[in-house]
Amino acid sequence: MPQQAPQFGYGGGPGMPPIPPKRNKAGSIIAVVAGVLVIGTLAGAGVFRGGGSSPGGSDSGSRYRITVPQTLAGGEYKLAKDISQQAGKAVPSEGAGAHNIKAVGGQYSTGTKSLVMLGLYGVIGDPGVAVDHTIRGMTRDGRTEAAVMDEKFTPSGGGDSLTCGVDVRTQMEQKVTLPFCVWADSSTSGNVVETDAKELSKDPRSVDLQEFADKVGKIRSEVRKPLG
């Protein structure tokens, strides 16, 4: 029987207070938005839910793991909370298109910006499907919509392309702009989402996704390490 997706509470649900009005103190807004980011990012790992064996791939292809360093993007972002335990409970180790999956993640901050990195590693049978399902999973809560459709970007620092876009989540009549970038290969998958409490409702079309992809490309090189 397929494993059921974990249920998360929004807007006053268990452990999840509603987003406060814009005039609340910045610190409170950052804390709440960070919580929304964590839950939304975990919910986006939909490809790894459900039972069944992995089509294609093998354990011999697991060449990388994902780590949770104390800083990201060259030291710009500091680790505020390690969410690996939460991620491990939300993402099954076996699922459609995935095998022997381990999940780790971290919530990071710098100034008024909050960033969440979720990393998965193991055997990924179809990286393209993994990316697609992750992105679609981020809009399954009924409160989030794709504002800028995803497309591929090549980081200026090199490396494989990233798939990036912008979502907008509406919570308690407050819109939150969420740029994201996702990648997957035969042994790792990563999802990075960011928002800024100073510009919660920033025009999604004004987000420079190439610039964000450059940042996430650097983050990917920092968190993805050779296995063994």
The predicted-structure confidence for 54-106, as pLDDT tens digits, reads as follows 444 444 544 899 999 999 999 999 999 999 998 888 887 877 678 898 999 99
Q: Are 178 and 147 in contact (CB under 8 A)?
A: no
Amino acid 122: pLDDT: 92
Is 2 a residue whose pLDDT tops 90? no
The closest alpha carbon to 182, from 205, 206, 151, belongs to 151
Can you name the residues that pair with 115 across neighbouring β-strands? 108, 194
Residue 226 pLDDT level (bands cut at 50, 70, 90): very high
Mean pLDDT value of segment 137-148? 88
Q: Are 164 and 179 in contact (CB under 8 A)?
A: yes
Domain extents in the chain? 26-226
Is 209 a residue whose pLDDT tops 70? yes
Is 131 a residue whose pLDDT tops 50? yes
> Length of the chain, please?
228
Q: Are 79 and 106 in contact (CB under 8 A)?
A: yes
* Averaged pLDDT score across all residues of the chain: 79
